[in-house]
Amino acid sequence: MLNLIGAILVLAAGTLAGFYQAHQFALRPRQLRELILALQRLETEISYGFTPLPDALERIGGGLKEPLKTLFIAASDYMSPDYGLSAEDSIRKALNMHWRRTSMKTAEKDVLDRLSGVLGTSDRQDQIKHIALAVGQLQHEEAAAREDQAKYEKMSKSLGLLIGALIVILIF
């Protein structure tokens, strides 16, 4: 009897792990899309609104879903004069604190890292070019993420169950 309960637990754990992995594959393109839209909004705020960077990030963050919302708002908070941080430091700090809550990978983080070094440091045309470049790179990542999702989402679900089954078989 105890054996049976153990086997069911292992199977359930394997299945859940598989579903979690599949969920991550589904979330990544969704968050990437949201990030791209956010950067495009930032471009508009800079080119037409002349909005200062901290205000723009806060405003954009307010309209986003978690976990990107916290990321943007934290970056904006760190830019307040109390911290004495530069824009680059503020964004890096927010990335280090909150990136792990997203489903995105290091490739996307690198894009934002590079962007943080130039945000706010040049005239509008220059800013727009840098943001467009970052958006381009993210779109590339998004396409790859969608491919991964198509390839691995279902497979992860089955794989979780199968690995659970394998462990049960090996144990007994």
Partner 1 sequence: MTLDWLGLFPESIRLILLKLPKAMLDHLEEIRIREERPLEINAAGRHHFLDRDGGLSLHPGEAYKPTREDTRRLLDLISNHSLYTMEEELRKGFITIPGGHRVGLVGRTVLSGGRVEHIRDISGFNVRIAKEIRGAADEILPFLLDRKRGRVMHTLILSPPQQGKTTLLRDLARQISYGSWGNAQLQWPGLKVGIIDERSEIAGCQRGVPGFDVGPRTDVLDGCPKAEGMMMMIRSMSPDVLIVDEIGRPEDAEAVNEALHAGISVIATAHGSSIQDIGGRPALSALVQQRRFEMYAVLCRKGHERSYKLYDGGQRTLQTAGAGPPGGDAYA
How many residues touch partner 1 under the rule CB under 8 A: the total is: 22
Question: Applying CB under 8 A, which of residues 15, 90, 137, 149 lies at the interface with partner 1?
Answer: 90
Question: Applying CB under 8 A, which of residues 35, 38, 68, 79 lies at the interface with partner 1?
Answer: 79
Work out how close the CB of 127 gets to partner 1 at its nearest, in angstroms, rounded to a whole number: 5
Which region, judged by CB under 8 A, interacts with partner 1, from 92-100, 103-111, 113-121, 134-142?
Answer: 113-121
Work out how close the CB of 129 gets to partner 1 at its nearest, in angstroms, rounded to a whole number: 12
What DSSP letter does each residue of the chain carry, written as one string?
Answer: -HHHHHHHHHHHHHHHHHHHHHHHHHHHHHHHHHHHHHHHHHHHIIIII---HHHHHHHHHHTSPTTHHHHHHHHHHHTSTTT---HHHHHHHHHHHHGGGSS--HHHHHHHHHHHTTTTSS-HHHHHHHHHHHHHHHHHHHHHHHHHHHHHHHHHHHHHHHHHHHHHHHH-
Question: Applying CB under 8 A, which of residues 3, 8, 66, 121 lies at the interface with partner 1?
Answer: 121
Contact footprint for partner 1 (CB under 8 A): 46, 50-54, 79, 81-82, 84, 86-88, 90, 119-124, 126-127
